[in-house]
Amino acid sequence: MNILVTGARGFIGRNLVEKLKGKKGTEILKFDRGNDPEELARYCSECDFLFHFAAVHRPLHESEFENVNHMFFATLLERLRVHDNRCPVLLTSSIQSGEDTAYGRSKVAAENELKKHAEMLNSKAIIYRLTNTFGRYARPNHHSVVATFCHNIARGLPIVISDPDRVMHLYYIDDVIASFVSHLDNGDRPEADGYYRLPEELRYDISLVKLADMLYSFKACLDEGLKPSISDEFMAKLYETYLSYTY
């Protein structure tokens, strides 16, 4: 199986590529900014599954939302159709999809492009609406508050908490990737509205102040050469994430 991953050097892409490296019988076709567009044209003729993660979240210019999140994806799907490639396509969208913002509009436009593509080719469209994913490789001041807090606290830099009691609803990257990879073997069914989301039992709810306190406790232990006492699954996942920002 040839698996095409766009945005392969990004947060989700890097984690997926690492996971797929251990899967027998697969070849990973990686594409990201800087790659030759001709490579992408060839990959579109060869791939048996497409994971599309290439997107912008905080661009310098608002027009990039439309150009990258929508039009680049539309062009990619058109290249699949040129080769009559009916491979399944998994798109990472967002809970902000459809909101009246440039980002929200670009995300719902991408979703609609994939729905039309799947109808035209009678192929499978897998659209995930994700929220607040944390884990290794997330960029600080970009992907998530967890990444920003981990990066700053590990380096002794200040963090800003404007609303300490605000509760974050978090999903761990390994759980997200496991759900994605399941689709290589058919995977789960979508929810009633046609979109895929991770189940609530994989969600971790924590206030910003408690999140910061936990990370500061990790730093204090490591500074003393000690390993923190891990009391639950979320704490273990957060600690692994924090460690990735100390290297």
DSSP-assigned beta bridge partners for residue 202: none
**CA 238 to CA 150: how far, in whole Å?**
9
Q: In the annotation, is 245 catalytic? A: no
Tell me which of 103, 171, 204, 242 is the catalytic residue.
103
If DSSP states are collapsed to H, E and C, what string results for the chain? CEEEEECCCCHHHHHHHHHHCCCCCCEEEEECCCCCHHHHHHHHHHCCEEEECCCCCCCCCCHHHHHHHHHHHHHHHHHHHHCCCCCCEEEEEECCCCCCCHHHHHHHHHHHHHHHHHHHHCCCEEEEEECCEECCCCCCCCCCHHHHHHHHHHCCCCCCCCCCCCEEEEEEHHHHHHHHHHHHHCCCCCCCCCCECCCHHHCEEEEHHHHHHHHHHHHHHHHCCCCCCCCCHHHHHHHHHHHHCCC
- Which among 42, 50, 46 has a CA at the least distance from the CA of 8? 50
**Which are the contacts of 114, defined by CB distance < 8 A and separation ≥ 6?**
73, 77, 89, 91, 125, 127
Amino acid symbol at 12: I
Catalytic residues: 103
